[in-house]
A and B are shown apart, each in its own frame.
Chain A
Amino acid sequence: DVKVTQSSRYLVKRTGEKVFLECVQDMDHENMFWYRQDPGLGLRLIYFSYDVKMKEKGDIPEGYSVSREKKERFSLILESASTNQTSMYLCASSWPGVGGYEQYFGPGTRLTVT
């Protein structure tokens, strides 16, 4: 069964802290994605990766970085958390190529920055 897991369902951090959000998929997918989801704004793409050690900026990369050292793991890093990064963070993975390959989503991490 297809599975994408995220390290935490809920996380509370303080302003200025460095935050790591981990995502692991067990489907041998090449593509992995990080989104954030906010009321009224929908799903917005932060970063994505098509291969190990490869990354591409999405629509809102500012304040974030990513790491993909292994195929199954894609990490989102908030170098210095700020209150406007309070959000639901969703990781997804898919097969490669530009065909109709659906994305499989993890359960999400609700991050609160105080």
Chain B
Amino acid sequence: GQNIDQPTEMTATEGAIVQINCTYQTSGFNGLFWYQQHAGEAPTFLSYNVLDGLEEKGRFSSFLSRSKGYSYLLLKELQMKDSASYLCGNRDDKIIFGKGTRLHILP
């Protein structure tokens, strides 16, 4: 079976840095995805990690440790528009998602 865990909600301040963690136990592994989903909208792709280490893309970075079954999404210089849910997904032959982390940004 597959199990993906991430915090339900987080709160951070505009301009700050926040780290959203994701742990997984899966039978197979072909990559770890992060998606962003604003309320009432479809998820949109943020990042993909298949090798250990940090992938940086502008204000967003994603980290993977395959031996620990652990990933995190790092958001820097937070903006109000970053208020959204962030979904961690593990790919075997299909993508299985965690329940998502709702991030609230305070001014």
Which of A100, A107, A108 meets B50, CB within 8 Å? A100
Is B48 in contact with A105, judged by CB distance below 8 angstroms?
A: no
Is the C-beta of B26 less than 8 angstroms from some C-beta in chain A? no
Is A98 in contact with B91, judged by CB distance below 8 angstroms?
A: yes
CA distance in complex: A44, B33 (Å) = 15
Determine the interface band of chain A, counting residues with CB < 8 A from chain B.
Answer: 20 to 34
Q: Which residue of A lies closest to B50 (CB)?
A: A100
Known contacts A42-B87, A90-B42, A107-B42; decide if A102 and B96 are in contact (CB<8 Å).
no
CA distance in complex: A43, B87 (Å) = 9
Is B99 in contact with A105, judged by CB distance below 8 angstroms?
A: no
Is A108 in contact with B87, judged by CB distance below 8 angstroms?
A: no
Contact flags B74-103 to A (C-beta < 8 A → 1, else 0): 000000000000010001111111111000
Is the C-beta of B30 less than 8 angstroms from some C-beta in chain A? yes
**A/B pair count, beta carbons within 8 Å:** 51
Within 8 A of A (CB), among B1-58: 30-31, 33, 41-45, 48, 50
How many chain B residues touch A (CB < 8 A): the figure is 21
Enumerate chain A residues within 8 angstroms of B48, measured Cβ to Cβ. 100, 102
Known contacts A33-B94, A98-B91, A99-B31; decide if A42 and B100 are in contact (CB<8 Å).
yes
Enumerate chain B residues within 8 angstroms of A106, measured Cβ to Cβ. 42
Which of B33, B41, B92, B98 meets A42, CB within 8 Å? B98
Is B43 in contact with A43, judged by CB distance below 8 angstroms?
A: yes
CA distance in complex: A90, B97 (Å) = 13
**Interface residue ranges, B against A (CB under 8 Å):** 30-31, 33, 41-45, 48, 50, 87, 91-100
